[in-house]
Chain A
Amino acid sequence: MALARDLAVQLLQMALALALAPLLTGYVRKLKAHLLRRQGPPLLQPYRDLLRLLRKEVVLAHSASWVFRVAPYLVFATTWVAVSLVPTFATGLVFSYAADLIAIVALLGSARFVLALAGLDVGTSFGGIGASREMMIASLAEPAMLMVAFTLSLMAGSTQLSSVAAYMHGPEVGIRVSLALALVGLIMVAIAENARIPIDNPATHLELTMVHEAMILEYSGRHLALIEAASFLKLLLYVSVIACVFFPWGIAVSGQGAAAYLGGLALYVVKLAGAGFALAVFETAIAKMRVFRVPDFLGAALMLGLLATLLLFVTQAR
């Protein structure tokens, strides 16, 4: 019975993530447009984009191999599985013991690996430049994220995200310097990983940034739809991780009644809206940086993560 309910929550959550992810992106776009005094596309535009792309035919380059055709499905599947392991509105997910925080980071790494290969597959300069820069960014962002994961798991005594969220929700956690450092580091990583300003510009591929959008330049039709959906999901994933670890209030714990789940759901939507608002304001206020300043930015995130872990190692000595 309990298992059935947990399974239901799990499936609900997977469906919810898939349903909400385009909305979050559409919301951020709309807010950014408003902040620039523009009308902006409708809130539901990402859904329409996806549906239209899905119905269109795929135009495939002559030199494309099967890697190019398989990659979108793998990227989408890996990202979706990663999202399904993050507690959004309730902890105690059935699948959460299949993969911990380290594995979630590595799953996103798998998605990126496949996508970067697809970028190289057609043999164009744009795909190559995108793949090369994406891997450069990832080579610093991934260790930074792992150091943040170290900090959290040392604190909670577990690498399971559900347990971490439960610990952070619990009474024994105080305000800690390590947590502050980890939060800053995680936000920096999230910005870099989701190709947001100041690292990359999600709105265009003709800018001089040429990272994520350049890598997927050759994609069209249903393939492009899957990749877009995966990047929506990835944004949702990072927001959910930040929300469930650093702002765990109101998250439903396994075994509570339906009211708690509904409350958790409502609060989760509020958290998403808050994060989207913060992201939009941040992106509007800041300018994009040169691509060779990015390593400094991410290096700083890595250092913060390392510092947080180090402090924790020291304080745990007592």
Chain B
Amino acid sequence: MALQALLGCIALLLAAGVAAIAAARRPAAFRFVYGVSLAACAGALVVAAGALLVPESLGGAVTLPLGLPWLGAHFRLDALAAFFLVVLNLGGAAASLYGLGYGAHEESPGRVLPFFPAFLAAMNLVVLAHDAFSFLFSWELMSLCSWALVMAQHRSAGNARAAYVYLLMASFGTLALLLAFGLLAGPAGGYTFGEMRAAAPATLMAAAVLALALLGAGSKAGIVPLHVWLPLAHPAAPSHVSALMSGVMTKVAVYGFVRIVFDLIGAPQWWWGALVAAIGGVTAVLGVLHALMEHDLKRLLAYHTVENIGIIFIGLGLALAFGANGMAAAAALGLTAALFHVFNHSLFKSLLFFGAGSVLVATGERDMEKLGGLIHRMPRTALLFLLGSAAISALPPFNGFVSEWLTFQAILLSPALPQWLLKFLVPATGAALALSAALAAACFVKAFGVTFLGRPRSAAARDAAETDRFSLAAMAALAALCVLAGILPGYVIDALAPVTEALAGAHVPGQRHLDWLTIVPVAQSRSSYNGLLLFFFIALAAGLGAEVIHRWASDKLRRAAPWDCGFPDPSPATQYTAGSFSQPIRRVFGTVVFRAHEEVHLPRPGSLAPARLHVRLRDLPWDAVYVPLARGVDALAGLLNGMQFLTIRAYLTLVFGALIALLATLAIWP
């Protein structure tokens, strides 16, 4: 029954997309489209959450007479799908709510409105699909809808290129997934997931499937070095779509990876875990370093998505390594940590993109060097953005900390792993995780501090106005969930139990009944954390301190010019900028990671020309992989260009030759 209701919601979304084509020119069309999307997503969210909490309603299966005639379209709702449906419809509902306000500022609604509900529907279909054809069809629909949304503001410089790179990477990813499913289906061609699950592929074949899944799902999720499209495409879309792409679509990619690697392949090998965890560690550190170097608020957030995907993959890698060694409980912990982070990241990344969108609407600026002081003009947005920043920086008592803490706990279980490589790799991954968490805090001090604090750096920032109430409501809802998931993590962990039970064969012990809502992932003597108590204590200590001081000491206050060591300068140009804030970290890591190069041009004494500092950064994966690849393709295209100018006889010869070659292959093939 739950599955039918979900399919109904999806049909509603698709219908809204079709209706939007007709109605896009009406001024109030956006209210209708986002309203319907909000209702459909909220409905799907309720159904999926109900299915996750009441496991009896799981397991429904539907086969629709669509798609390939001999296959049909299979849909099924299991625990994994239900969890990801919760994540994605939560993000979808928030984005729709945000769109109710944000949509009024859209320049060309005809380019956004039809695709937005279709994009949501496609993502829902990917998660529900239970055969390779429907999965790939929905996956491609999702890619194309999001591509169309990236192209929505096609006149802005760089957006067309972003969309082009995105389209290339998306096609490449789909190709890899197509091959992966082909290998999984085997020569018999069992294209439903049920048949794939039953057939266990050979070791070598399974390794190939893993590699293809990493390429296909990983390119959509943004693991290094397949991340290059992500910081281009995500910011190019309208902000609520950016939030969907960064907060939700990357999670659908993670779903694809989990579905293939944890569910369909069969028993994992230990080195899969090593590979995935290593990729996760590298992705986390490189992503956050890139984010730190970025001065465009939305691009910074997009790069930060890369970091969080890395953290998720660390958890997944640990789960694979534990699972391969038969340590089901530890594997469940790793998987719980990863999925918890999936949930968390979808919350705070959507929140932050909404905040960036509000700043964009209020000032027309994405460049942080032209912002500043917005906390005075947009106090509510600032507060909500601050909550999101604290959550994403993994600060207690917010939710980001809990999932990273769980990942750390999983790492601390890993000395029991017997393989030598894992013994060295896992602590190194732990160091990478710790480093990326600390750098993330620096990154968000920069993002929030330069954008919202200080003094306005441009007229646009000085005259900004607070955003509308729909946007605020969407952000407030997400921020509240960030706080709630941070102080009551036990409920989320318990909700994940059926998922890990299905995939890893075990689950983290139940947390709900523990005293004081503490979470104890392994054993009481080993580790425990209580976000509620911490939150309560910090609030109590701060409130007590304020009360005591204001009552008995002094509560006098005087406004004056800043002190600034005796040289206050009224010009806002004397503030620290985003570039200068990240300069020390660029010095520390940049020479190695970005081949950073600084040049100082000093004018001659007496000259009035300004001194200039030039910094050049290089994106090594881009230079090492993509540029040679593009050159190779260009060269090949140049060679094949001659084929365009042959005579008809020559073309016929080619066709004939190809036919003969194919027939010969068929004859020789055993």
Interfacial residues, chain A to chain B (CB-CB below 8 A) = 54-67, 73-74, 76-78, 80-81, 84, 95, 97-100, 102-103, 106-107, 109-110, 112-113, 116-117, 119-129, 131-133, 135-136, 138-143, 146-147, 150, 153-154, 157-160, 163, 205-206, 217-218, 220-222, 226, 291-292, 295, 302, 305-306, 309-310, 312-314, 316-317
| Contact call A132/B583, Cβ cutoff below 8 A | yes
- Contact: A106 with B530, CB < 8 Å? no
Q: Are A123 and B445 in contact (CB under 8 A)?
A: no
**Closest Cβ neighbor of B398 among chain A residues:** A110
Is B459 among interface residues, defined by CB-CB distance under 8 A? no
Question: Can you list 6 contacts pairing A with B, beta carbon distance less than 8 Å?
Answer: A129-B580, A131-B445, A136-B585, A160-B527, A309-B431, A310-B427
Tell me if B482 counts as interface (CB < 8 A to partner A).
no
Cβ-closest 4 pairs across A and B? A128-B576, A123-B454, A120-B449, A57-B556
Bound Cα distance A309, B432 (Å): 13
Distance of B31 from chain A, by nearest CB (Å) = 34
Task: Pick the interface stretch among B141-149, B324-332, B404-412, B614-622.
Answer: B404-412
Q: Please tell me if the beta carbons of B423 and A128 are within 8 angstroms of each other in the complex.
A: no
Where chain B touches its partner, the secondary structure class is: helix
* Complex-state Cα separation, A7 to B292, whole angstroms: 44
A137 nearest CB neighbor, chain B only: B584
Please name the residue on chain A nearest to B560 by beta carbon: A59
Whether A159 contacts B527 in the complex (CB less than 8 A), given A125-B564, A131-B576, A140-B438, comes out as yes
- A residues within 8 A CB of B585? 135-136, 139
The residue in B382, B394, B445, B518 that gathers the most chain A C-beta atoms within 10 A of its C-beta is B445
> Bound complex: CA of A69 vs CA of B529, how far in Å?
29
Contact A67 B453 (CB under 8 A): yes
Which of B427, B446, B448, B526 has the most CB atoms of chain A within a 10 A radius of its CB? Answer: B427
Are the CB atoms of A103 and B445 closer together than 8 Å?
no
A55-B553, A57-B556 as given contacts; A159 in contact with B526, CB under 8 Å: yes
Q: Interface code B571-590, partner A: CB below 8 Å = 1, 0 otherwise?
A: 01011100011111101100
- CB–CB B533/A139 < 8 A: no
| B376 interface residue (CB < 8 Å to A) | yes
Determine the distance from Cα of A55 to Cα of B556 in the docked complex, in whole angstroms.
9
B546 touches which of A64, A73, A117, A119 (Cβ 8 Å):
A73
| Size range of the chain B interface in the assembly | 35 or more
Query: Which parts of B346-390 form the interface with A (CB within 8 Å)?
Result: 372-373, 375-376, 379, 382, 386, 390
**C-alpha spacing A127/B449, complex, angstroms:** 11
14 more CB-based (< 8 A) A-B contacts, given A154-B415, A312-B415: A59-B559, A60-B560, A97-B518, A98-B518, A103-B405, A106-B395, A106-B405, A109-B393, A113-B441, A117-B453, A120-B581, A123-B572, A135-B445, A221-B554
Our pick among A56, A99, A136, A313 for the contact of B427 (Cβ within 8 Å) is A313
A129 proximity list for chain B (CB < 8 A)? 576, 580
B378 to chain A, nearest CB (A): 11
Chain A residues with CB below 8 A from B534, complex form: 81, 98-99, 103, 107
Q: Chain A's nearest CB lies how many Å from the CB of B161? A: 32
With A65-B376, A113-B441, A143-B431 already in contact, the answer to whether A120 and B588 are too (CB < 8 A) is no
Asked, given contacts A135-B585, A147-B434, whether A117 binds B526 with beta carbons under 8 Å apart, the answer is no
B644 interface hit (Cβ, 8 Å)? no
A contact residues around B453 at 8 Å (CB)? 65, 67, 117, 120-121, 123
> Which chain B residues lie closer than 8 Å to A66 at the CB level?
375, 379
A74 and B395 CA atoms in complex are apart in Å by 13
Q: Are B558 and A59 in contact (CB under 8 A)?
A: yes
CA distance A187 to B85 in the complex (A): 47
Asked if A74 and B527 make an inter-chain contact with CB atoms under 8 angstroms apart, the answer reads no
Do the beta carbons of A146 and B442 come within 8 Å of each other? Answer: no
Return the chain A residue nearest B541 by Cβ: A77
Contact with A along B514-552 (1 / 0, CB 8 A): 000010000011111110011001111110011001000
B286 at interface by CB-CB < 8 Å: no
A158→B538 CA distance, assembly (Å):
24
Interface string of B90-127 (1 = CB under 8 A from A): 00000000000000000000000000000000000000
Taking the closest CB of chain A, its distance from the CB of B554, in whole angstroms, is 5
B439 contact from A103, A139, A295, Cβ within 8 A: A139
Does B455 reach chain A (CB closer than 8 Å)?
yes
In the complex formed, the residue of A with least CB distance to B526 is A158
Q: Which one, A55, A76, A143, contacts B542 given CB within 8 A?
A: A76
Q: Cβ of B651 < 8 Å from any Cβ of A?
A: no
CA distance A119 to B441 in the complex (A): 15
**Chain A residues with CB below 8 A from B655, complex form:** none
- How many Å lie between the Cα of A138 and that of B394 in the bound state? 14
Residue of B nearest to A117 (CB): B449
| Among candidates A99, A102, A135, residue contacting B442 with C-beta atoms closer than 8 Å | A135
Q: Is the CB of B396 within 8 A of A99?
A: yes
Known A-B contacts A61-B561, A67-B453; A98 and B533 likewise in contact (beta carbons under 8 Å)? yes
